[in-house]
Amino acid sequence: MAPASAAPSHHQVLIVGGGTAGITVAARLRRAGIRHVTLLEPSETHWYQPLWTLVGGGQAPLRASLRTEADVIPPGVRWLRERATAVDPTARTVTTASGRVLSYGRLVLAPGLQLDWDGVPGLSAALGHGGVSSNYRPDLAPLTWDLIRRMRSGTAVFTMPSGPVKCGGAPQKIAYLAADHWRKRGVLGAIRTILVLPEPAMFKVPVFDRALTETARRYGIEVRLSSEMTRLDGAAREAEITDHGTGKTETVHYDLLHAVPPQRAPEWLADGPLADPDSPHGYVKTDRETLRHPDFPNVFALGDVAHLPTSKTGAAIRKQAPVVVANLLAGLRGRPATARYNGYTSCPLVTARHKMLLAEFDYELQHTPSIPFLDTTRERTDMWFLKRYGLPQLYFKGMLKGLA
């Protein structure tokens, strides 16, 4: 559908963000019979981002992750192709980049997060050339694969920043895909592979931590826990790695570097009244069960921008969206918010070209498998096919249609 050329100043339900969370909520609200739903989203492109790891690993074409935004806007939803720049929850208004002021009855915040490429000195300048790439940018994911398939010897470094990031398993998955490719090409022994992780364990859930530790051992990957890349010299091809446990730093010369940038909430939210003071990255204060803002009950947040103690994944959004919609509808009907989110999230952990673990867990880090008759704690080929072919179909034909 074409974006609206004009819009009323007041909106019954205003959704900020037309990514996974925003479209899913909009579709569910329309199916629930809410007629006046407005979506604020400046982009003309909609990406299925979980596929970018497979693009970087040479297992999927980039075009498979792409749709136009117009193609995914639910029928009957008013689309304003603008960017939010401020929110006033007391006045119940959102201001856009053009200066338009929109008032709302209910506000759903789903603008995603901001990639801070300048958060590591030297990273922004080095990105895209000199052996440096990142699957967190769609234009660079094909470059990642080009670097991997051309490499025959040398040092490859894969990094993850501290703080919450979207798809927390992605920084590891590309390392395993690269190592498996090099193994099959017979060059793995000539390549030193270093995986830099900020946490004290490879994964917070013990059963998956053990599995990933074994995966890294199998490929001969040097894992640096509680560590982070703190500086990059693209001209010299040198990365500074700091061990936060000891405070020591080392400089590693690399031939290939896959970097994941620090991430934070969009500035207009991080600097505004809805940010959680307990979140150093500016994410929105959100009740972990109802997904409402504790101080402004007509404001909901979900997806990457919500400050919740769970991983930022599309699988989490699939469980969050029904809760947001149910509690929003309850408020419109003068009823209490009774729907609850238990923190469920899922990380499909690709460990080889056709192997994957499916890590599913909740707020308490309890393993919560959705396919109980399959052991998804071990590497499985069927789980890889689920990620490559099943989950994209579930996304485009299920989640974005308000059906799954």
pLDDT tens for 334-379 read: 999 999 999 999 999 999 999 999 999 999 999 999 887 889 999 9
Task: Tell me if 120 sits within 8 A of 229, measured CB to CB.
Answer: yes
As a whole number of angstroms, the distance between CA 41 and CA 18 comes to 5
- Largest distance between two CA atoms of the chain: 66
Nearest to 19 by CA among 321, 354, 281: 321
The per-residue pLDDT for 9 is 84
Give strand pairing partners of 106.
13
The per-residue pLDDT for 256 is 98
The per-residue pLDDT for 371 is 86
The per-residue pLDDT for 4 is 46
The per-residue pLDDT for 347 is 93
| Tokens, residue 40 | 């604020």
The SS3 call for residue 385 is: helix
Q: Which residues, 6 or more positions from 314, have their beta carbon under 8 angstroms from its beta carbon?
A: 20, 49, 50, 395, 399
Q: Is 284 left (phi over 0), alpha (psi -120 to 50) or beta?
A: beta
Q: Which are the catalytic amino acids?
A: 167, 347
| Tokens, residue 263 | 């991430």
CATH number of 10-113+265-340: 3.50.50.60
The whole-angstrom distance between residue 325's C-alpha and the CA centroid of its chain comes to 21
The per-residue pLDDT for 268 is 97
Q: Compute and round to an integer the Cα radius of gyration of the chain.
A: 21
| Total residue length of the chain | 404
Task: Tell me if 233 sits within 8 A of 48, measured CB to CB.
Answer: no
The per-residue pLDDT for 5 is 42
As a whole number of angstroms, the distance between CA 132 and CA 139 comes to 13
The per-residue pLDDT for 314 is 96
Question: Rounded to the nearest 5°, which phi and psi values hold at 307?
Answer: -85, 90
Using alpha carbons, list the distances in angstroms from residue 364 to 84, 278, 345: 34, 20, 11
The pTM is what? 0.94
As a whole number of angstroms, the distance between CA 87 and CA 81 comes to 17
Q: Is 154 left (phi over 0), alpha (psi -120 to 50) or beta?
A: left
Task: Tell me if 158 sits within 8 A of 175, measured CB to CB.
Answer: yes
Give the start-to-end residue ranges of the domains of the chain. Answer: 10-113+265-340, 116-262
Question: Rounded to the nearest 5°, which phi and psi values hold at 301?
Answer: -140, 140
Task: Tell me if 388 sits within 8 A of 10, measured CB to CB.
Answer: no
Domains 10-113+265-340 and 116-262 share a fold: yes
- The position carrying tokens 């709302």 is 104
Per DSSP, which regions of 51-189 are E strands?
66-68, 78-80, 84-88, 93-96, 101-109, 114-115, 132-133, 154-159
Give strand pairing partners of 380.
356
The per-residue pLDDT for 126 is 98
pLDDT < 50 stretches in the chain: 1-8
CATH 3.50.50.60 fits 116-262, yes or no: yes
The per-residue pLDDT for 2 is 37
